[in-house]
Structure 1
Amino acid sequence: MGLFSFVKNAGAKLFGKKEEEAPVEEKAVLKASALLEHVKALGLKYKNIKISLRGDDVVVEGDVEQQEDAERIVLAIGNVEGVDTVDNQMKVIAPEPKPEAQFHTVEKGEWLSKIAKKYYGDANKYNIIFEANQPMLDHPDKIYPGQVLRIPKIDS
């Protein structure tokens, strides 16, 4: 799926003193562990997963059944403060994978209906974007500048 860039200074504050003040040789392992726990806590689907870090860049490997599962994992990891890029090396094992979604970085003054109007031509389709980004989003009005959202392809 590739390499995805995120806004490093925006997102969920997942890393604490323990991760930030750890010795260099332990820092990557502690951050990878925290990211894995975050993915698990969100209940995201995967067959197997391995998360590793190179500085502020994350590599995620493993198997998922659907393309959307891989995309949600990438977004969950990337929308964490301190993560600069996510290199998605997960394999989709579904017999007929769905097309990849687009990604959109939220800008100041945007809301889901405005984004839906841009991508779908219909502001009332905001709920498609909301549902595509659950469980990372818990309310349609709770998005923030710098957050990256999944915009699934839909039939017109």
Structure 2
Amino acid sequence: MDLFNFAKNIGKKLFGNGDSGAADKIKAHVLEDNPGVNNLEVTFDDGVATLSGDCADQAAREKAILLAGNVEGVERVDGDALKVPAGVQVEEVTYYEIQKGDTLWKVATEFYGNGSKYTAIFEANREVIKNPDLIYPGQKIRIPK
């Protein structure tokens, strides 16, 4: 099972406790900046978002999972049913959880040895990070190798 864990009480607030439309709101959130997913379906139960659909590539799959997981109230994301076409090249990435005091410059310095490469991190997460100056502790992002 491909389950990603997230901080349940941190993230973009889309719905309240017991909101029967939570799955639809998560789906709309992912599709708002669609990273390349067709036929997206979302279910949400007890803090777990389950996503299915057809992804253009591995990056689209990862971004859809991160978009859903960086929502307040989502504790885990199951992306097993997000399909990537066979033969599509897989980009090697590391997942990173933003810590208090982090900036993308600081993260780029840690991973690349050069803070000015923060733009590569921002571009790899453009759908997940709207503004490179507005990241928050607990947010998960992709770091390309």
> Separation in 1 of the partners of 2:28 and 2:47?
18
Match of residue 113, structure 2, among 121, 128, 138: 121
Letter in 2 for 1:7: A
Aligned partner of residue 10 in structure 1, secondary structure: coil
Moved more, 134-143 or 74-83: 134-143
Q: Shift of the alpha carbon at 1:97?
A: 2.4
- Match for residue 46 of structure 1 among 37, 42, 55: 37
Partner of 2:93: 101
- CA distance in 2 between partners of 1:98 and 1:63 (Å): 15
How big is the shift at 1:21?
A: 4.4
- Distance in 1, matches of 2:127 and 2:88, equals 24
- List aligned pairs for 1:108-147, cutoff 5 A: 108-147=100-139
- Is 1:33 matched with 2:12? no
Percent identical pairs in the alignment equals 40
CA distance in structure 1 between the partners assigned to 2:106 and 2:53 by the alignment: 34
| 1:79 alignment counterpart | 70
Question: Which amino acid is the alignment partner of residue 66 of structure 2?
Answer: L
Which residue is 2:50 aligned to?
A: 59
- 4+ residue segments displaced more than 2 Å: 94-97
2:37 is paired with a residue of what secondary structure?
A: coil
Q: Which runs of 5+ in 2 are unaligned?
A: none
1:149 is matched with which residue?
Answer: 141
Larger radius of gyration: 1
The 3 A distance-change label for structure 1 pair 8 and 21 is closer
Q: Equivalent residue of 2:131, what SS?
A: coil
Once the 2 structures are TM-superposed, how far is the Cα of residue 39 of structure 1 from its aligned partner?
A: 1.1
TM-score in terms of structure 2 length: 0.91
Q: Secondary structure at the match of 1:86?
A: strand
Number of residues paired by the alignment? 144
Alpha-carbon RMSD: 1.6
The TM-score normalised by the length of structure 1 is 0.85
**For 1:138 and 1:82, how far apart are their aligned partners in 2?**
20
Structure 1 residues 130 and 94, CA gap change in structure 2 (3 angstroms): farther
Report the equivalent of 1:5: 5
What are structure 1's unaligned runs of at least 5 residues? none
